[in-house]
Chain A
Amino acid sequence: MNKIKTIFRGKFFFIFAPFIFLWLLRYIIPNYTISSKTPHWAYIPPKSCLGGCGSIDGLIPFVDWTNALIQFLRKYEIFGLFTFRDFTRGIANYVDKFLDFTEAVLHKGFPSYDVGPLPWIFILTLTIILGFYLRGWRLALLGGACFSYLILFSKRGIWELSMKSLAAISVSAPLAALIGLCLGILAVKRKRFANFLWPMLNILQSLPHFSYLILVVIFVGIGTKAGVIATVIFAFPPMARLTILGLQNISQEIKEAGVMAGCTKWQMLFKVEIPAARSPIMLGINQVIMQCLAMIVIAAFIGQPGLGHDLLIRLQGLRLGEAFEIGVAVVLIAITLDRYSQALALKEPERREGNFVKRNPYLCATFFAIIICSILVFLFPFFNEYPKELTISASVYLDNAIKSFTRSLFVPLGIFRDWMLIYFLMPLKAVFQSMPWTGVILFVGAIGWKLGKMRLALTVMLFVFFIASSGYWVRAMITVYMVFASLIICALIGIPLGIWASKKESRTKIVLNICDIFQTFPSFIYLLPAIMLFQISDVSAIFAIVIYSSIPMVRYTVFGLRNVPQQIIEASITSGCTDRQLLWKVKMPLAFPEIILGANQTLMFALFMVMIAGFIGTVDLSQEIFRALSFSDGGKGLIIGLCVAFIGLTADRLLVEWSSQMKSKLGFKV
């Protein structure tokens, strides 16, 4: 009884009360159903009467406004000379020049000079030497294995496709890195610019891939250069972010040492600050490369040729064996690029003394390798172009294997799928679909208020209001339902796995390594097993989301549990805790803020994956965005993208604030 009284007295009650009240009210208001033509305004946001009744769905015609802006940018001539679109296309043409070069080197050759593309033997050898240089024989082996696979399994042209993708990445990654670096530096040097840039980065990083694609199609067109530009826009934010963090975290003393040596501002930047922050900046480059790869695969939707394109076609044709082969290629390239760029980020300069060869062993090795390879290519055509007869393909066997696998599991998988749908997903979906928008706004506002930040409360309320008034409320709630369902499953899998993994050093290592590898896969890849196992349904979408987004849940749980100070653990053991008590009374409470951060990351990952899962045919925002893509409806694409971003940002703001408040209560540094 007392407990109930305290609930009514606390802030807790005020958070849930209005929400629950509004929710229950829907059973009292008679005309309310989701499908009824005029649902009560408190539940489904009413349609607009602005800008001509009924022309658009939203309370506020954001989509129309955005489209008007896009039209303006397309048509209006700045100084009567060129339109914004001319401008963007002009830039695209410059990008095309670079692209022509990398494509020529990697797979087209220079026909006008009668020079072919770089022979495979060069690429293979140089990759191996680079691997040795960056970390040692293991990395070299990985690089060698990756490219050997690409060469060997090239029956259906995987080598050429990979080279196409790599050509695009080798233009977009440096561009994105450069843009990110410059913006990051500018933000550190100019406080005002930082205030503007930081929220922009937040939004850019939570917009789904497809929103970019639509805008790029409108302003640039389709094809390779459009793919590259979409990729650059998508990939620069993490670089900018890490540059800012890196530059801000340089120790004060190092900066002072630079000033006291009498550096000018430019000398400070190039001789002190950038080199001192080189590790985070290099990690930024690693992120850029991985983002580029992920986006290049997805850019297949706007006609970017390469691995992604063929993967897409094969998935659409349900030729899973062939898709699997290409998927492996993508995954291998992803792991290789990731490990190479990470090794680059962590590489410390090495001291070498002695003569020239001793001081520059890798330079010399490269030089000799080039000479030997040139001779080989000159003498044997085998080394110039790997003969098609010698390539292999396992796609037929894979197809059969996958078929017999799914056939043998057809019944149990079917039962599982139906059970999930009927007892878990459908009820949950109904709950989310019936949530009143007014209630949700009050709910998030109340949480923000409970966390004691009025500004936070207003921001998240505004986010939700935007979604409600844009006309996509019901769809958005379906997206939220998918994310929420995935989050629950991820927590059910991830937290126990994290607890198990954190018990022993050796387990931790293995699990984190697997996490690392899984995280490097472009998200698109996860659709492959999902379709294989569950065909096309909500369950397969959620399956894909869950494998992708369990990673941060596991990672943060392990991190949180392992970071509990050793002293505290020792103190608990000497107090007589059993293992179980140690876990639940000591470790878990201390690791809880970290686990919340993990949940937050999981949520972000899930949101991204939901959008890609639209490809399997879910009925949430992602379906709308796919439609917008096929009609090149930029306004709609952007607004839906913003809806998705705001779903993410609402959760992110609240969870991060909650976690950091808990951390500071526990006395951890935030």
Chain B
Amino acid sequence: MNKEAKISCKNIWKLYGEAPEKFLKNTNNNPTTEEIKKNNYIPAVRDASIDVNTGEILVIMGLSGSGKSTLLRCMSKLIEPTHGQVFFEGNDLLKASEKELIDIRRHKMGMVFQHFALLPHRTVLQNVAFPLEVQGQEIQKREERAKDVIKLVGLEGREKYYPRELSGGQQQRVGLARSLAVEPDVWFLDEPFSALDPLIRKEMQNEFLRLQSMLKKTIVFITHDFDEAIRLADRIAIMYEGLIVQVGTPEELITKPATDYVAEFTKDIPRSKLLNAESIMNEKDKKPYENKVNYNDKIEKIASKVLKSESIFSVVDDNKEVIGSVSKKELIKALFAEDKNE
């Protein structure tokens, strides 16, 4: 097990159907797609193993029905996996007692939901203070803390509002505040911005990045929106029909897609905004040329000067050492990736 890992999932299976445990056992915990189909099981998650490292933003992405939400719920044991292990800070979550689980959820986990899941009969303040209330914190202390978090998400002055009086974006801010009230180590976000308008979504993504830059939580973020994923993620896990198809940084996914499915997904992403010089350079050519570009420059920044000139550019790292080269050829190859097989 990775020591850095905050959460570590090992061979998680979640099947729906009749007596799925038995079926899994009979197939040595590794049934094929055909076997699953033939026996009328619905596979939500298949053999998923993934580590979530401390302090990173892991985005799980896939289309609806790909099992991403189920996997997230297995991590917090909202759903019991059919088979597999989930380690939370090294402890097996699936073996934890009800009491231990409640304790972990009260102090170490926070979760944000797609449709906000605010309690309609409580004010903003009471909603945010809710996780503290169920811990048994006294009213003054918990409301003080709740007010701080409300301020943090920029909803000052709305403490006494009821959820129905707020816009979608504001409601989700309450959702964020509630999940942060207990100062959790791990922050689960289940398609938190999917139900919002595109403009508000962008605003909330910025808000999220701002909060993360201050709080530095370990984050598992679910989305079906690839743009959102590459904006926010340190690493992305792509799921397809219950399987984790590929895990990697956004650049890796675009430059080295593991399957056609991933390639299809990443096809429409404007590469120029995402890829940097390092990811497209010719690593073998380490000659120092006259023109230089920084390894971390995005393509959109260097494209015009590279394309204008006939010469080759050296790629240098922060210590000015040459680590490769970029020319028209590499640029065109990277930008029009569909043609690379020809």
When the two chains form their complex, are residues A276 and B119 in contact, meaning their CB atoms are under 8 A apart? yes
- Name B103's closest neighbour in chain A (CB-CB): A262
Task: Collect the chain A residues with CB atoms within 8 Å of residue B199's CB.
Answer: none
Q: Does A505 contact B (CB under 8 A)?
A: no
A271 is contacted by which of B117, B134, B188 (Cβ under 8 Å)?
A: B134
Task: Collect the chain B residues with CB atoms within 8 Å of residue A349's CB.
Answer: 121, 123, 162
When the two chains form their complex, are residues A254 and B119 in contact, meaning their CB atoms are under 8 A apart? yes
When the two chains form their complex, are residues A253 and B102 in contact, meaning their CB atoms are under 8 A apart? no
When the two chains form their complex, are residues A251 and B78 in contact, meaning their CB atoms are under 8 A apart? no
- Looking at B21-29, B37-45, B108-116, B259-267, the stretch in contact with chain A turns out to be B108-116
A269-281 contact mask (Cβ, 8 Å, vs B): 1 or 0: 0011001101000
Give the Cβ gap from B52 to chain A, nearest Cβ, in Å: 16
Q: Does A573 contact B (CB under 8 A)?
A: no
- Name A278's closest neighbour in chain B (CB-CB): B121
When the two chains form their complex, are residues B162 and A256 in contact, meaning their CB atoms are under 8 A apart? no
A276 to B164, CA, bound (A): 13
Task: Collect the chain B residues with CB atoms within 8 Å of residue A348's CB.
Answer: 120, 162, 164
When the two chains form their complex, are residues B162 and A261 in contact, meaning their CB atoms are under 8 A apart? no
B105 is contacted by which of A253, A254, A260 (Cβ under 8 Å)?
A: A260
A349 to B123, CA, bound (A): 9
Give the Cβ gap from B167 to chain A, nearest Cβ, in Å: 16
Q: Does B161 contact A (CB under 8 A)?
A: yes
Q: Does B328 contact A (CB under 8 A)?
A: no
Q: Does A259 contact B (CB under 8 A)?
A: yes
When the two chains form their complex, are residues A262 and B119 in contact, meaning their CB atoms are under 8 A apart? no
When the two chains form their complex, are residues A262 and B131 in contact, meaning their CB atoms are under 8 A apart? yes
The number of residue pairs between A and B whose CB atoms lie closer than 8 Å in the complex comes to 75
Q: How many residues of A contact B (CB 8 A)?
A: 21
- Name B124's closest neighbour in chain A (CB-CB): A351
A272 to B178, CA, bound (A): 14
Task: Collect the chain A residues with CB atoms within 8 Å of residue B165's CB.
Answer: 351
Task: Collect the chain B residues with CB atoms within 8 Å of residue A36's CB.
Answer: none
Chain B interface: which size bin? Answer: 35 or more
When the two chains form their complex, are residues A260 and B109 in contact, meaning their CB atoms are under 8 A apart? yes
When the two chains form their complex, are residues A264 and B102 in contact, meaning their CB atoms are under 8 A apart? yes
Give the Cβ gap from A354 to chain B, nearest Cβ, in Å: 11
A254 is contacted by which of B78, B106, B117, B162 (Cβ under 8 Å)?
A: B117
A577 to B105, CA, bound (A): 60
Task: Collect the chain B residues with CB atoms within 8 Å of residue A251's CB.
Answer: 115, 117
Q: Does B135 contact A (CB under 8 A)?
A: yes
Task: Collect the chain B residues with CB atoms within 8 Å of residue A254's CB.
Answer: 117, 119
When the two chains form their complex, are residues B113 and A253 in contact, meaning their CB atoms are under 8 A apart? yes
When the two chains form their complex, are residues B121 and A275 in contact, meaning their CB atoms are under 8 A apart? yes
Q: Does A257 contact B (CB under 8 A)?
A: yes
Name the interface residues of B83-113: CB closer than 8 Å to any CB of A.
102-103, 105-107, 109-111, 113
- Which residue of B116, B119, B123 has the most chain A CB atoms within 10 A of its CB atom? B119
When the two chains form their complex, are residues B110 and A260 in contact, meaning their CB atoms are under 8 A apart? yes
Q: Does B76 contact A (CB under 8 A)?
A: yes
A264 to B99, CA, bound (A): 9
A-B contact pairs, 13 of them (CB 8 A): A251-B115, A253-B113, A256-B111, A256-B113, A257-B113, A259-B105, A260-B131, A261-B178, A262-B103, A263-B102, A348-B120, A349-B162, A353-B160
**16 new A-B pairs (CB below 8 Å) besides A256-B117, A275-B122, A353-B160?**
A251-B117, A254-B117, A254-B119, A257-B118, A259-B78, A260-B105, A260-B110, A260-B131, A261-B134, A262-B107, A263-B102, A271-B119, A271-B130, A272-B119, A275-B120, A351-B123
